[in-house]
């Protein structure tokens, strides 16, 4: 849905700023740095020792049978010695800060989240999964509406934008899937980061194409190709540039924000001039998505180490996704009804 596109655009801004200010108050803390350095030498934080550090408290190597090594589910998560040292030193420092009445601080550009079964941001992962489920529900109900509830013409739907919305639904589900994977481990895993960013860019770019085609009511196939081809070429080139040549966060931010703002303006203007019976749903998504962005601006530490502003933002996209797919289905009914009237 439309709010997905703004989510990725503003999330790109957020991540870019995170990397610009990578040195945070937490990792600049001398006590934290000393803890991490000590852990990397000994493999232990307090009484907790990590086999994959290969340096227990007595300094001997822990290479041994597989059952003495890291559990499989953690090996899949790829938590290494440095990550575990940083994580447990962070927890200890936050406990000390809390005892002194101090607020949480960021470490390496990120708030201090608590892992759950090796998942770094469990709330964001769960909400991303719910968004994925909502996208699947919306796409499936759209498919059922067109093929089993609305009249067909030679086994084809009357609605001219059917294929475009099907592609959009698949791209949305793909993006939320990689969002869940990325939030499960946001640190030091380049593959999931690239897949998340690439999926987001693909969704934003294709969504811009849909916004143009639907708002300007472009139905001629040749015209659609002329409009879509340059945008598809640009998006494809941008994705290849990020993955092969240079993963430039700043340039990716500019591209995502430009395409996201363009879509917002197109849908907002069309909602203001059209007589579509469900335009109020379109306005709801535009305004609701804009207000939800305040959660990205008002960044606050995770409550109890689990739920932060970005996780709450994920939560707001769930009802907005439902409304957006409801609008798409209403649009299919509206266009089909108008076309049937012309046929009669």
* 65-97 residue pLDDT tens: 434 444 545 454 556 777 788 888 888 888 888
In the numeric block, the tokens 């290479």 are attached to 63
Cα 118 to Cα 311: distance, rounded to the nearest angstrom:
18
Alpha helices (H) in 103-248, listed in sequence order? 122-144, 162-184, 190-215, 221-240
Q: In angstroms, how far is CA 34 from the centroid of its own chain?
A: 34
44, β-bridge pairs:
49
Distance CA 249, CA 12 (A): 7
In this prediction, residue 108 carries a pLDDT of: 75
Q: What is the average pLDDT across 172-198?
A: 84
**213-261: per-residue pLDDT in tens?**
999 999 999 999 999 999 999 999 999 999 998 888 888 888 988 898 8
Q: What is the mean pLDDT of residues 10-37?
A: 64
Helix (H, G, I), strand (E, B) or coil at 246: coil
Say yes or no to pLDDT of 137 above 80: yes
Q: What is the distance between the alpha carbons of residues 19 and 251, in angstroms, rounded to a whole number? A: 13
Helix or strand or coil: residue 278?
A: coil
Work out the pLDDT band at 318, boundaries 50, 70, 90.
very high
Token duo for residue 250: 């700043």
Confidence grade of residue 39 (pLDDT, cut at 50, 70, 90): confident
The dihedrals phi and psi of 41, each to the nearest 5 degrees, come to -85, -40
Spatial separation of the C-alpha atoms in residues 99 and 97, rounded to whole Å: 5
Q: Mind giving me the DSSP string for 47-100?
A: TEE-GGG---TT-------GGGS--HHHHHHT--HHHHHHHHHHHHHHHHHHHT
Distance between CA atoms of 280 and 321, rounded to whole angstroms? 15
Q: Give the model's confidence band at 267: pLDDT under 50 very low, under 70 low, under 90 confident, else very high.
A: very high
CB count within 10 Å of CB 38 equals: 14
The reported pTM is 0.80
Residue 77's pLDDT is 53
Q: Do the Cβ atoms of 187 and 243 come closer than 8 Å?
A: no
Dihedrals φ, ψ of 157, to 5°?
Answer: -80, 155
Which 3 state secondary structure label does DSSP give 152? strand
In the three-class reduction of DSSP (H, G, I as helix; E, B as strand; rest coil), residue 233 is classed as: helix
Q: In the block, which residue shows the tokens 């700023």? A: 17
Decide if pLDDT at 55 tops 70. Answer: no
β-strands 48-49, 156-157 pairing: unpaired
Mutual angle of helices 190-215 and 249-273, in 10-degree steps: 30
Task: Kindly list the distances between the CA atom of residue 256 and the CA atoms of 11, 179, 206, 223, in Å, as whole numbers in the listed order.
Answer: 9, 16, 12, 25
Q: Please list the residues that pair with 189 across neighbouring strands.
A: none
């Amino acid at each position: 849905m439309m709010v997905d596109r703004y989510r990725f655009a503003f999330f790109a801004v957020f991540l870019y700023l995170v990397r610009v200010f990578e040195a945070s108050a937490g990792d600049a803390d001398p006590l934290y740095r000393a803890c991490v350095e000590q852990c990397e030498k000994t493999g232990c934080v307090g009484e907790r020792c990590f086999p994959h550090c290969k340096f227990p408290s007595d300094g001997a190597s822990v290479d041994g049978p597989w059952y003495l090594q890291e559990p499989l589910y953690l090996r899949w998560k790829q938590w290494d010695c440095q990550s575990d040292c940083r994580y447990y030193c962070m927890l200890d420092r936050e406990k000390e800060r809390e005892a002194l009445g101090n607020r949480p601080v960021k470490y390496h550009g990120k708030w201090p989240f608590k892992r759950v079964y090796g998942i770094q941001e469990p709330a964001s992962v769960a909400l991303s999964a719910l968004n994925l489920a909502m996208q699947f529900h919306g796409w499936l109900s759209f498919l059922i509406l067109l093929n089993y509830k609305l009249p067909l013409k030679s086994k084809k739907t009357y609605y001219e934008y059917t294929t475009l919305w099907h592609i959009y639904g698949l791209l949305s589900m793909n993006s939320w899937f990689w969002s869940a994977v990325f939030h499960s481990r946001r640190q030091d895993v380049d593959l999931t980061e690239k897949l998340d960013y690439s999926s987001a860019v693909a969704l934003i770019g294709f969504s811009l194409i849909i916004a143009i085609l639907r708002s300007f009511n472009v139905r001629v196939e040749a015209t659609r190709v002329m409009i879509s081809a340059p945008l598809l070429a640009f998006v494809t080139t941008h994705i290849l540039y990020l993955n092969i040549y240079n993963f430039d966060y700043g340039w990716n931010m500019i591209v995502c924000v430009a395409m996201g703002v363009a879509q917002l303006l197109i849908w907002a203007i069309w909602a203001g001039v059209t007589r579509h019976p469900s335009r109020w749903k379109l306005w709801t998504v535009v305004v609701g998505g804009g207000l939800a962005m305040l959660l990205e601006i008002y960044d606050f530490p995770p409550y109890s180490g689990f739920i932060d502003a970005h996780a709450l933002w994920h939560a707001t996209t769930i009802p907005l996704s439902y409304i957006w797919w409801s609008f798409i289905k209403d649009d299919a009914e509206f266009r089909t009804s108008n076309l049937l009237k012309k046929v009669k």
